[in-house]
């Protein structure tokens, strides 16, 4: 298997038969290197979804009079906290307002180090949910992040705890085995095998970044523009495109509220400039705008400012002729239920949802719904 890449998101289109063709590789990036991954669904939720009748869900009708959109729209499964019944309700809420779904997580390093086969893990943990998505006609995007999503300068916390690293060939082989299992069993339409590689290059020791290059890659848009305390000047993604030359789709990750006071301040070529010199399809994989003030991060926001971000994001993706708009956070996070290792804080990413932690709609949901009503080109 060619190593997938992740520069904004190395994405490749996948077929139902891995032996026939590689999945579309995504090169994607995440914001600021200190946010939590999408919640990994517990087995009870996967089993609950497996028991649901996929064919009974209804798709929202599009409005022919509206301008078409070029991009798929969707979410990753998860809820505000650890209650799988609430997570199930959240999935049902976004099922009718999406035509794509995403898996985004680190590999289960601890289980693989304990000797459990990768294909057994995928069958147990993800297959039922993937079948639910397929049964509802969703395009499926899979992104596996081999590095630490909460600290871009470090290996996964599970590997650190075990005294291991992706700099080891044996650990990289475990990753490849898991990636092959995810692709062949889940049959995604798009597949990516790393995130925010440009951010990792700037934050991690050189051997760790080189290990990521050996495996896969993605890039972070705000970092590429020099907006995350990394110089202030536009950097672009040329190095990422060179390091991960096999990518077929450039995955985008952006949390511009760390860089701009208002959504309207985000430049109109925020995405298009990245691929202007070397065109490649782009897909928004993760990102968003907080609906709450974040004094520790000097961020002032409101639910209405978040609503305006969704309007602006649609404009930017239209400008880029993007092929996808996916987001990890349909709901806000319930911080009282989030348990993280000491020193980690996900508060800056806790209020990105289109609904709050009680699943009450925010103003941004109406913008998403209006965009989704546009016919898919």
- Give the domain CATH number at 335: 3.20.20
Return the SS3 of 213: helix
Question: What's the whole-number mean pLDDT along residues 42-69?
Answer: 58
What is the per-residue pLDDT for 178? 92
Is position 2 within any domain?
no
For residue 218, the model assigns a pLDDT of: 64
Asked if the structure places residue 1 within a domain, the reply is no
Judge residue 346's burial from the number of C-beta atoms within 10 Å of its C-beta, 0-12 exposed, 13-18 middle, 19 or more buried. Answer: middle
246 phi/psi in degrees, rounded to 5: -85, -5
Residue 4's pLDDT is what?
A: 32
Q: pLDDT at residue 350 above 90?
A: yes
Res 166: pLDDT: 83
Higher pLDDT, 243 or 302: 302
Neighbours of 377 (CB within 10 A): 10
Average pLDDT over residues 50-73: 68
Q: Is 60 exceeded by the pLDDT of residue 207?
A: no
Q: What is the pLDDT of residue 118?
A: 95
Average pLDDT over all residues of the chain: 80
Quickly state the pLDDT bin for 3 (edges 50, 70, 90). very low
Q: Are strands 9-13 and 190-195 parallel, antiparallel or unpaired?
A: antiparallel
Pairing of strands 249-254, 9-13: antiparallel
Model pLDDT, residue 21:
37
Q: Among 200, 284, 218, which Cα is nearest to 28's?
A: 218
Residue pLDDT, tens place only, 96-118: 999 999 998 889 999 999 999 99
In a domain, 4, yes or no: no
Q: Let me know if residue 311 belongs to a domain.
A: yes
Q: Is the pLDDT of residue 138 over 90?
A: yes
Query: What local confidence, expressed as pLDDT, does residue 160 receive?
Result: 87
Residues 6+ apart with CB under 8 A from 5: 25, 26, 27, 192, 193, 194, 197, 216, 217, 218, 243, 244, 246, 247
pLDDT of residue 246: 73
pLDDT at residue number 196: 46
Number of domains into which the chain is organized: 1
pLDDT-based confidence at 48, cuts 50/70/90? Answer: low
Residue 75 in 3-state DSSP?
strand
pTM exceeds 0.85, yes or no: no
Q: Taking each helix axis from N to C terminus, what angle separates 169-186 and 206-215, rounded to the nearest 10 degrees?
A: 40
Of 13-27, 154-168, 214-228, 241-255, which range is least confident?
A: 13-27
Cβ count near 261 (within 10 Å): 13
Q: Does 255 map to a domain? A: yes
> What pLDDT, on a 0 to 100 scale, did the predictor assign at position 200?
46
Strand partners, 73: 325
Which residues constitute the domain of residue 239? 9-372
- pLDDT of res. 12: 41
- 353: which DSSP letter? -
């Amino acid at each position: 298997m060619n190593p997938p890449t992740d520069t904004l998101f190395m994405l490749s289109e996948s077929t139902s038969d891995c032996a026939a063709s590689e999945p579309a590789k995504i090169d994607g990036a995440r914001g600021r290197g200190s946010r939590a991954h999408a919640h990994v669904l517990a087995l009870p939720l996967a089993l609950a979804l497996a028991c649901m009748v996929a064919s009974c869900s209804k798709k929202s009708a599009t409005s022919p009079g509206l301008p078409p959109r070029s991009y798929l729209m969707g979410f990753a499964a998860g809820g505000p906290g650890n209650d799988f019944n609430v997570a199930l309700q959240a999935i049902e809420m976004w099922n009718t307002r999406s035509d794509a779904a995403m898996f985004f997580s680190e590999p289960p390093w601890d289980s693989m180090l304990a000797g459990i086969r990768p294909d057994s893990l995928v069958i147990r943990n993800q297959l039922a949910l993937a079948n639910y998505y397929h049964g509802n006609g969703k395009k499926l995007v899979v992104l596996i992040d081999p590095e630490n999503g909460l600290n871009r300068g470090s290996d996964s916390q599970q590997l650190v705890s075990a005294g291991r690293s992706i700099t080891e060939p044996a650990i990289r082989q475990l990753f490849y085995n898991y990636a092959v299992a995810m692709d062949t069993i889940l049959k995604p339409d798009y597949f990516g095998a790393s995130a925010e590689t440009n951010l990792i290059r700037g934050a991690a020791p050189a051997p760790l970044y080189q290990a990521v290059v050996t495996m896969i890659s993605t890039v972070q848009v705000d970092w590429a523009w020099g907006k995350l305390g990394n110089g202030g000047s536009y950097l672009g993604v040329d190095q990422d495109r060179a390091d991960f030359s096999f990518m077929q789709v450039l995955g985008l990750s952006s949390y511009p509220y760390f860089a701009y006071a208002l959504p309207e301040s985000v430049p109109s070529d925020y995405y298009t400039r990245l691929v202007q010199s070397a065109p490649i399809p782009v897909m928004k994989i993760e990102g968003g705008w907080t609906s709450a003030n974040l004094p520790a991060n000097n961020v002032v926001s409101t639910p209405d400012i978040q609503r305006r971000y969704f309007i602006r994001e649609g404009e930017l993706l239209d400008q880029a002729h993007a092929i996808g708009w996916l987001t990890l956070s349909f709901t806000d996070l319930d911080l009282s239920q989030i348990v993280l290792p000491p020193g980690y804080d996900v508060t800056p990413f806790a209020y990105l949802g289109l609904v709050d932690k009680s699943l009450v709609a925010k103003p941004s949901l109406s913008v998403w719904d209006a965009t989704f009503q546009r016919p898919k080109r």
